Structure 1
Amino acid sequence: MTPTHLPGRVAIPSLPEQPRSAPLDRFNTAPVDDLRPTLLTCLRSHRWATRIAAHRPYPDVDALLAASDEASYDLTPGDLAEALAGETLPGLPTDAYGAAHMALDAAQAAYEARFGHQFVICLDGLAPEEALDHVLAGIRSRLTNDPEEERVVAAEELRRLARGRLLSHLRGAGNGATSHDGAAPGTQRHTPPHTPQR
């Protein structure tokens, strides 16, 4: 059976125009003084926050994330130190056992003694039950870096955190990244376990 051909041209309907993102519109139009505190929860670098705010409006989220990456790559050693000073370790689950807290505290102390700043790692995409092992493995493997190697790794982790936090802000929901005060949206801060009195 031969296929039937329609006479003339077949009109292809145009794709509907994509609606603009309301959160991105608010981001683009917010007064700088209102936006700056939000940006500083994404990355505690004033230079980075100033650049992101100054290059608005962004046509889409991808353009915003590209600008975030570019500004992150341009961090000076001083900017990096400023950003790292505002970081804390991701929170452990509330039911984490005491040995996990002690192992994390010891690893963090060794890292800070070697590099002089807080360990920073992006946990986006990891299941909560995998976070502790990932953090401990990350600290232990990065303790073998020399300071310049670790500066590059830490800068990359900050870049990833900034992207995730920007997306979290635009979505209005947490993504598992820590905020500047260490409180990840929807998670507990890393605090030593309570030891009951005997």
Structure 2
Amino acid sequence: MTSSAPPGLARLNRLDPAAAAGLLRGVCAAADWSAAVAAGLPYRDTGALLAAGDAATAALSESGLDAAMAGHPQIGRPAPGESASAREQAGMAGAPEALRARMLELNLRYQERFGHVFLVCATGLSAAQLLAAIEERLGNTPEVERAIVRTELGRINRIRLGRLAESADPADPAEPAEPAEGDASG
């Protein structure tokens, strides 16, 4: 670690592995993922942290992937009081009621078909684009969808890890030091 590490990364590097894993659970709910990333502390820079996160995502078992998905709310229904979900799903915030209702219907159909929440990295996507994504992905086989979910989870984890590394506020590790424009991953 260098003295020029961003504030959140410097803070993470000072934690013991158990405390770091706890903090990292806010990035990804899978215990195996957070333990793997915490085991690599300290990180010399954000790039090294992101690489560790990527490796941990790729290494998730099927049950670990399930645990990670369980930590994500439905698109259009962010968890109350959870600022990361609300921010990440900002593309749905001003959606017309008919679109929101259709998204809820398709979320339920998706969960029935695949047995888990529809997971998409929605950064920069509008409500209409999110709706189109779920409509398209409903036609996938379970095997294809599992691969897509792992990729989307990796993208979400990278965004959240980047925020954690840059965060100047120890009370909210997912908040960036400077608000990002148009962010809506989730």
TM interval, short-chain normalised: 0.7 to 0.9
Q: 1:136-184 deviations in whole A, cap 9, x for unaligned?
A: 1111111111101100000110011001001112222265334xxxxxx
**Aligned sequence identity (%):** 30
| Contact 2:121–2:156 (8 Å) recurs in 1 | yes
| Distance across 1 between alignment mates of 2:108 and 2:7 | 43
Query: How far did residue 18 of structure 1 move?
Result: 8.2
Q: How many angstroms does 1:21 deviate by?
A: 2.8
Q: How far apart are the structure 2 equivalents of 1:165 and 1:56?
A: 17
Query: Equivalents in 2 of 1:86, 1:139: separation in Å?
Result: 19
Q: Residue 72 of structure 1 corresponds to which residue in structure 2?
A: 57
More helix by share: 2
- The partner residue of 1:134 within 129, 135, 160 is 129
Aligned match for 1:161, one of 156, 163, 168: 156
Paired positions, count = 157
Q: Displacement of 1:123 after TM fit?
A: 1.8
Amino acid across the alignment from 1:102: A
Runs of 4+ aligned residues of structure 1 deviating over 4 Å after TM superposition are: none
Partner of 1:23: 8
Map 1:36-55 to 2 at 5 A.
36-55=21-40
Q: Does 1:60 align with 2:45?
A: yes
Task: Classify the secondary structure of the residue corresponding to 1:41.
Answer: coil
Q: Which runs of 5+ in 2 are unaligned?
A: 76-88, 168-175
Residue 150 (1) aligns with residue 158 (2): no
Superposition TM-score, scaled by structure 2 size? 0.77
**Residue identity matched to 1:168:** R
Output one character per residue of 1:101-139: Cα deviation in whole Å (capped at 9) or x when no partner. Answer: 111111111111110100010022x1xxx4212211111
**Counterparts of 2:21 and 2:118, CA distance in 1:** 24
- Secondary structure (helix, strand or coil) at the match of 1:165 reads helix
Q: In 1, Cα distance between the equivalents of 2:137 and 2:10? A: 40
Structure 2 residue 184 is matched with structure 1 residue 176: yes
- Give the distance between the partners of 1:100 and 1:37, measured in 2 at CA: 36
Higher mean displacement: 21-30 or 60-69: 21-30
TM-score normalised by length of structure 1 = 0.73
Alpha-carbon distance in 1 for matches of 2:115, 2:7: 41
2: CA distance between counterparts of 1:62 and 1:139? 31
